[in-house]
Amino acid sequence: MKAFLPNESLIPWLKDLSSSLEVIAPVDVEGEAVYQTWKGQPPALVGNTLSSPIEVLMPRTEVLFRYVQDSGRYTFDEPKVPTRIVVGMKPCDLKAVAILDRIFGSEPTDHPYLAKRRSTLLVSLNCTDPGPWCFCAIMDSGPDAQEGFDLALTDIGSGYLAEAGSAAGVLLIKGCSSGLFLEADGSHEASRDILLENARSVMAEKYGDRSVGHLRRAIRSADWEYLGRQCLRCGGCSFICPVCHCFSIADLGVPDGERVRCRDTCLLSGFSRMTNGANPLGSIGERMRNWYLDKFEHLPERTGLIGCVGCGRCDEICLAQIDRWRLEVLDERSRQQRQQHK
């Protein structure tokens, strides 16, 4: 099912949704677009956000359950999961959801993740204006959403072409107040196709030399000891990646308390360190190599999908200015170009 949402109907539609769902959308926070609960402000539906909406499904910190001891017996209470809708998720993040679904949905299943996943509707926004770091088209994860969405929107200037991807998506169109969605016609679809083809061309011109095979060869030939010396060990590339999913768990409180899960990363030395103090990945160079191997060797074997969606966030966030694709430190000209983009 296809429909057309005029620009002036966007906020009324979000208000309509918020009457029965928690609406998560990108909004402007001190000049940065951040996904959070929408409260009536104009949504920032432009470009890709530095922080991924994946955090709705995989928060940086979450309580798995609370426990109370009474006369030697424990009772457990799991947090209630609200029904939510994420509006504006870019196709690269949507592809990351598909990867995480396979990871957390395989045995043993991750019940906290799946509970949030089942309670969350996804409204994708196709990428018609790729940012300076984006290469989703090269990784076959954009610029248009292919699957996994309930509703896909494309900004065609005068409004949004909406395409339902599930029964829930049809209800998102038909179940709203009358007059918000209009009938889509051939001109709307033609505008969408032109915009998406232009976005593909931009990324192909800028990053046409990128391929999974190229990076796998770079992994084998990279000077990991040198790259390790350049890395600042901040873990930013991992914490900002929509596919990275390492975590640690801690029980806080005795005898009553809560079990908390926190995002973690294999790039930090403590993650692989064993109780006797030994560390099989003792140097940052070894941990960087392991990070790449997980994305381009181990995850494809495990899920059938590459662990990179071409969002470019790791390139954008890297304080050491390491070219994450060529596995080399940027030269002076590239550093200047990076500063101009920022």
List, in order, residues 6 or more apart from 6 with CB less than 8 Å away.
158, 159, 182
Per the model's pLDDT, the better-predicted residue between 326 and 171 turns out to be 171
Confidence of residue 282 (pLDDT cuts 50, 70, 90): confident
Q: What is the mean pLDDT of residues 79-91?
A: 95
pLDDT at 338 over 70: no
Beta strand segments in 71-213, E: 73-77, 84-89, 120-125, 151-155, 159-164, 182-183
Per the model's pLDDT, the better-predicted residue between 339 and 131 turns out to be 131
β-strands 151-155, 247-252 pairing: unpaired
Confidence of residue 198 (pLDDT cuts 50, 70, 90): very high
Tokens of 163: 């395409």
Res 336: pLDDT = 55
Q: How far is CA 40 from the centre of its chain?
A: 24
* Separation of alpha carbons 250 and 272, rounded Å: 16
Q: What angle do CA 33, 311, 14 make, to 5 degrees?
A: 40
β-strands 61-70, 32-37 pairing: unpaired
List, in order, residues 6 or more apart from 62 with CB less than 8 Å away.
79, 112, 260, 261
Question: Where along the chain do its domains lie?
Answer: 2-208, 213-341
Confidence of residue 337 (pLDDT cuts 50, 70, 90): low
What are the distances in angstroms from CA 24 to CA 156, 165, 230? 22, 19, 37
Confidence of residue 334 (pLDDT cuts 50, 70, 90): low
pLDDT at 98 over 90: yes
Digit-coded pLDDT (tens) for 200-221: 999 999 888 788 888 899 999 9
Confidence of residue 340 (pLDDT cuts 50, 70, 90): low
* Separation of alpha carbons 50 and 259, rounded Å: 29
Confidence of residue 279 (pLDDT cuts 50, 70, 90): confident
* Separation of alpha carbons 58 and 263, rounded Å: 8
Res 267: pLDDT = 92
How many C-beta atoms lie closer than 10 Å to residue 102's C-beta?
13
Res 6: pLDDT = 96
Residue with tokens 């969350």: 120
